[in-house]
Structures are given as C-alpha cells and as structure tokens.
Amino acid sequence: MIRVRQIKININNNTIDEIIYKTASKLKINKNDISSIEVVKKSIDARDKENINYIYEVEIDVKNEKKILDNNKSNDIYLKEDETYNFDIKNKGNMKNRPIIVGSGPSGLFCAYMLSEYGYKPIIIERGEKVEDRVKTIEKFWKTGKLNKNSNVQFGEGGAGTFSDGKLNTLVRDKNFRMKKVFEIFVECGAPKEILYENKPHIGTDLLRNVIINMRNKITAMGGYFRYNTLLTNLVIENNTIKQIEVNNDELIPCDNLVIAIGHSARDTFKMLHENGLDMMSKPFAVGVRIQHTQEMINKSQYGSFSKLLPPSDYKLTYTAKDKRGVYSFCMCPGGYVVNASSEEGNLVINGMSNYKRDSKVSNSALIVQVSNKDFGDNLFDGMQFQIKLEKLAYEEGKGLIPVQLYKDFKENILSTNFKTVKPEFKGGYNFSNINNILPKFICNDLIEAIEYFNTKIKGYNNDDVIISGVETRTSSPIRILRGDNYMSNIKGIYPIGEGAGYAGGITTSAMDGIRCFEKIICNIK
C-alpha cells in the first residue's frame, strides 16, 4: 500500500471521486489504476478564508508500487509501514490473585481491556454507578440539585470524560501505535469510524456512553468483573508490598497487583493513599472560568463565508499575561453545554460537554490561568485546598447554582441582570453572580487581559454580552502519585496511572497510560 499526503480538496467538491482524481494526478497515473483507496487522515485548512480546503492523507492499492514510488520522489508519497500495535509476551507469568483496578475511567478501562484480552481477569471496582444508572442520577441532579457524592459528573463508570465533548486529539508522539489501538477499540465498541482519521476526532458524550457499555461487555465476556458502588477505603501492606485492599470500610480482598486509576477528583482516596505511605508530590494546575459565545460567531471567525458548509469550529488560544502566567483555552466544546460538575456538598465546579452532532447554538471553553505552589502553598494538599476554597466560594456566590455574569459586568465588577445576544446552554440551574467574589484578583486580571488579546484572534471574543461562568478548577490533578520506570509506586504491586495520578491529560492520553500500565504489569510478573 502507498501512502499519499497533502491531497487538497476544495470544500465545494468534497467527494470520493475527487479524492481519487487528485491522488492519481499527484502520482501521475490514471485514476483507474487505483484499485482501492482509504482515508487515513483528514483536516481542514482554513488559513485562506477565500479558499478553504480539506487536506487528506490516503492509502491506495495499485499495481507496480515500486515503479510508482521510483517515479515520485516526494516526502508526501511513501510506502505504508506496519502500524499495528504489538506487545509480545515472551514468558507469560501467572498471578496469585486477580489484578484489581480502582476506577473505570479511560486509564482503568483500557488497562482492564488489555489485561482481559491477554487472558488475565481483572476486577474493576468503581465507587460510582454503571453508566446507565449514572446518567439518570446526573440528570436528576441537574433538575433538582440532589447530589450523589459517589456517582456524578466526576465519579462513575467511564470517568469524568463521559460527560465532556469526548475529544480524542493529543500531541503525544506514538511510536508504538498505542493511540491507534485505543481508537480501534473505541470503533469496535461503537464509536464513529471517522475518529480513525479525523485530525481532531471526538465521540460526543451521547455516543460515548454506549461505547463504555460495549467496552464493559467485552471485558466481562473475556472474564473481567465489575463492582459498582464500591469505594476503596484502605490498604493492607506488609513488607512494603500490597497484600489486600479494603472496600466500603468492611470487606477485605486479596491483592498482589493494584492499579490506582482514581481520576483527579478523588480527594478522600488521595488522603487515604498518603496515610498508607504512597509517595506523592503537589503539582501546578490551572483554574478559571467557562466562556460562552454563539457558535455562529466562532464559525464565521474561523471559516468566513464558508462557515455553513463546514462542521462546528473549535479554537485553541494561548496568552502570556503581564505577570508571566500562562492563560489558555481548555476543553473547548463547539455546540455544547456548560454543566454543573460538582462532586461534593457545598462546593460547585463546572465543566463543558458536547453531543456528537455539536448542535447547540453556543460554544463554550474553559479559560484558565496557571497556578503553582507560590499561590497556594508548599504542603502536599495545599493545591487541593485551594481548589476547595474556590469551589465553596462559587457555591455560596451562586446560592448553590452555577454563578453567571456577562463579560462587561465581570470587567466592571457589577452584577448582571439579563442575557442579551448570547443565549446560554446550561445543564443545571444558574444564578447571576459576581465572579470577582470567587476568584483571586490576579486571576480575574489575567482573564480580562487574555480575553482582550483573544479578540485580536477571534473577532467578537470580548463582546459585552459574552457569558462567563464559574468556577473551573478540575483541569488536572493537583497531586502526582510518584512511580518508577516500571510504573510501580514506592509500595510494591501498586500502579498509579491516568489523569488523577498526574500522568495524563484527557481521554486518549489516559487510555494510552492504561495500556502502558498493562505492559508493565505483565513484564513485572515473576
């Protein structure tokens, strides 16, 4: 198979026939010489708003491959390499007890999937509900405010990413094709096939729920076992080695290999692990707000007059404020919703979410400011306490609902009274509030400075009626659970992984970390 890159197709003529024709022209062959073609990458080039193109990379099957390659000396034309994920077990070891995975977010699920696929039968314990029940519980919370502290937007089968945009793009280099393996498993479990080639793939929260169910069913069919509403409450350690775990404060389970995939919001579990001697350190993170614009405005800014011919546009913005702090957009959700993502009584935190079609009329993105120990202190849990402080203030300022303010009023430090052009999309109730009463002054100043700058990139970004909501604090874990090259913590047999442990940032990198952990566990078995 030959790979051909940089096939430019005008958006007005985006057909498979045109792709074949342009590919043949680039190779200087007749289009009938191409017996099969498959798209392997697709992106949009919108740098010239008057001439927007799709950019394709394709694989083709042709006769006389060598002759064609000899006649086309170009970096854009080359022989396809094998991109199959392959983990070779030379000496498969035996486990005394079934491996236990704590948490069923992306890192935990993919570690469990791979262990199951290779003949090991993991037990997956999850403090929250299975995804079908979790959806009902969260919908009830958004309608009534009644919170289940163990099953919510942060906790439950699928992890926090289940109630997000389902974005899968990452900048991680992937020489071992673990990312490709992740996407292939997603597609096998019902994700749209285009995630295999889209430049910025996403599944959408509505489709991702069914993908999670199908993953669970596959893991179960291979011998894995899920236990929901099951909270890790203690460890039994002997001679610096894990021997048992305690769940729900009253049950002990034998354990030799324990995967800690708890996510970034399991504050009680972090403290329990620390009390049991796991080495940890605090780490920088970022906090801020969600900002909402009309999707139409974002599309026009990115695509000009062709905006109606293209899918909802996203954006990625960065800025260095005068105080040298980084300010950037994060988890941008085209055609999405701002959601109440709280997991603790008396605290309020928000997140963004989109369905597969991204068909709401509003875009939203986190705008966040970097913070470090100089802002919150040097002790291990000071960053966590900083998050908690802001979330309590958000709950109080919003009277238990999402605090909301127009951008002009945010700048002027006054309360808003009504929405204007931008009509918001929320999951959960909201109250007009003053976000200046929630965030430290330096964060408010940096946000205003950045939003004014971002208007030079996206016209209208700083409009008076743009909607600001608070507070976004769970951008990443404030804690890192230390591990060695073998992925083990300082306690033998314990493997901290994923976003919560401080080693990933999003669905794809978390899933890939789960696969790496599976590999290390197998290599470490005696």
| Position 352 pLDDT exceeds 80 | yes
Tokens of 318: 């960065």
Could you give the dihedral angle defined by the CA atoms of residues 132, 133, 138 and 139, in that order, rounded to the nearest 10 degrees?
70
Q: Residue 388 to residues 97, 345, 438, 516: CA-CA distances in angstroms?
A: 38, 11, 11, 32
Given a cut of 90, is residue 255 above it in pLDDT?
Answer: yes
Burial class (CB in 10 A: 0-12, 13-18, 19+), 36: exposed
Q: Pick the range with the lowest mean pLDDT from 79-88, 194-203, 295-304, 409-418.
A: 79-88
Taking Cα atoms as reference points, which of 102, 162, 89 lies closest to residue 131?
A: 162
Same fold, 2-79 and 100-281+477-524: no
Look at residue 91 and tell me whether its pLDDT is greater than 80: no
Q: What are phi and psi of 288, to 5 degrees?
A: 175, -130
Sheet with 34-45: strands ordered across: 34-45, 53-62, 2-10, 77-79
Which tens digits make up the pLDDT trace of 132-163?
Answer: 999 999 999 999 999 999 999 999 999 999 99
pLDDT tens, residue by residue, 22-42: 999 999 998 999 999 999 999
Domain ranges of the chain: 2-79, 100-281+477-524, 284-472
pLDDT of 312 over the 70 cut: yes
Mean pLDDT value of segment 394-416: 98
- Retrieve residue 31's tokens: 């289009």
CATH superfamily of 100-281+477-524: FAD/NAD(P)-binding domain (3.50.50.60)
In 111-173, beta strands by DSSP E: 123-125
pTM for this model (two decimals): 0.95
Q: pLDDT band at residue 170, thresholds of 50, 70 and 90?
A: confident
d(CA 421, CA 361): 11
Q: What is the pLDDT of residue 29?
A: 92
Which residues touch 417 (CB under 8 Å, ≥6 apart)?
432
- Say if residue 46 is exposed, middle or buried (CB neighbours under 10 Å; 0-12, 13-18, 19+): middle
Instruction: Give the lowest-confidence range in 71-85, 198-212, 468-482, 486-500.
Output: 71-85
Q: Which of 81-90, 92-101, 183-192 has the lowest mean pLDDT?
A: 81-90
Pick the CATH number of 2-79 from 2.70.150.10, 3.30.70.2700, 1.10.10.10, 3.30.1050.10: 3.30.70.2700
Please, are residues 282 and 440 in contact by the beta-carbon 8 Å criterion?
no
Mean pLDDT over residues 452-477, rounded? 97
**Per-residue pLDDT, 526:** 67
The helix (H) or strand (E) run that includes residue 408 is helix 407-412
